[in-house]
Amino acid sequence: MNESTTLIIEREFPTSREELRLLPPLLEAARARCPIGDDQFYNLVIALTEAVNNAIVHGNRNDATKLVRYRVTCEPEGIRCVVEDEGEGFELDDVADPVAPENLLRDGGRGLFIIRALMQEVRLVRREGGMRIEFLCAR
């Protein structure tokens, strides 16, 4: 983080979907410290929920012995989110296109598709001990 970046939320928790219900109120508090418009806020709630859910379900495979971490910062460009899991990781090329006719009824790929559609500067990094997704909700 640089001098113009302010940490708003930093959480680490054992894999559990219970965390998902905490995201909207935490982001509302973040919004008070880093103002963004209504449309951006609702898109941020959806994108961060998708990213954390993906870390829980696909990354850590609901294994409560593994951790999920996320960080939300305020930057001059907007609100940046980073989500990390402790799963095996994946190759982006292996994720099926969820809007291709043959994949419409399949699970998988929708969360990333939604995040990419709603956020800017989306980056996925396969790292030792898991995956990291980072994205920006521009002002």
Would residue 1 count as lying in a domain? no
Would residue 118 count as lying in a domain? yes
Query: What distances in angstroms separate CA 65 from CA 56, 57, 62, 68, 106, one per listed residue?
Result: 11, 13, 9, 10, 28
CA–centroid distance for 116 within its chain: 10
Q: What's the domain count of the chain?
A: 1
Would residue 105 count as lying in a domain? yes
CA–centroid distance for 5 within its chain: 18
Would residue 92 count as lying in a domain? yes
Above pLDDT 90, what percent of the chain? 73
Would residue 18 count as lying in a domain? yes
Nearest residue to 125 (alpha-carbon basis) of 26, 42, 51, 20? 51
CATH number, position 31: 3.30.565.10
Would residue 76 count as lying in a domain? yes
pLDDT reading at 95 higher than 70: no
pLDDT, position 37: 94
Would residue 120 count as lying in a domain? yes
What pLDDT digit, counting tens, does each position of 17-69 carry? 999 999 999 999 889 899 999 999 999 999 999 999 999 999 999 999 999 99
Would residue 13 count as lying in a domain? yes
Higher pLDDT, residue 104 or 134: 134
Q: What is the mean pLDDT of residues 100-111?
A: 64
Q: Look up the domain containing 60 and give its range.
A: 6-138
Above pLDDT 70, what percent of the chain? 83
Rounded to the nearest integer, the mean pLDDT of the chain is: 89
